A = this chain, B = another copy of it.
Amino acid sequence: MTEPLFTIPLWADLLGVGLGGVQGAMFASGFQGQRRLDLLGVAIIGILIGMGGGLIRDLMLGLPPATLQSNWYLLTATGAAIIGMLLAGLLNRANGVIVGLDAIVIGMFGAFGTSKAIGLGVPPVPAVFIGVCAAVGGSILRDVIMGLPVAIMHVGSLYAVAAAAGSIVIVSAYALGLDLVIAGIVGIVVTAVIRVLAVIFDLSLPEQRRLYRRKVAAETGMIPIIKP
């Protein structure tokens, strides 16, 4: 394999891992009843959200996972998960913070996935697909391991749509000759804005949202934190 056209800088990668770890731990801290997790369980979910997207991305690219080539990723994810637990206690299920972090995190993971794929010469359609999988893969793993209905299949389609929109912007901008770093930043903004607007304007199919809420409420004894 030749030298990639583009390498994600370590600080940016760690920023994504850290924000993901905070968001994952805040989300996992909120569960009660049968889904309630102990401290280590919350930390595992934080690490999973922080590092899962990058792991899936690198497996799909056929590369050894970048997150396991240095000590920094795991230290960052673990530290971030601890911060997330403390914040969850302080802010008492701060819905807005979790949604905002989540929007930025899926934007970053999607943009990193797509950019890394393009940089390695992956064609545009699979590059978008890898970006979407990197963006939403961590949350699928989280739902499967916590025994929750996989949000993206039932109500969370706008997750995937937001991530796909950002990835398509990156691929298109790059094809038009834009610098990949600038294209990536634009992609992060596009994904995060679509995701936040979807939550603010409550964009999802009402019937499915109702089903999802009833299901999660029945199983966990609480209304889901993130408005789907």
Contacts and interface: CB of A to CB of B under 8 A. Distances in A.
Contacts of A41: 152-154, 157
A146 interface: yes
Interface residues of A, number: 50
A53 to B, nearest CB: 15
Contacts of A33: 211
Most buried by B among A122, A124, A126: A126
B38 A68 contact: no
A30 to B, nearest CB: 15
Interface of A: 33-34, 36-38, 40-41, 44-45, 55, 58-65, 67-71, 73-75, 122-126, 129-130, 140, 144-147, 149-150, 152-154, 157, 160-161, 205, 208, 211, 215
Top 10 nearest A-B pairs (CB, nearest first) are A62-B64, A71-B125, A68-B126, A40-B157, A71-B123, A74-B125, A41-B153, A145-B150, A147-B149, A74-B129
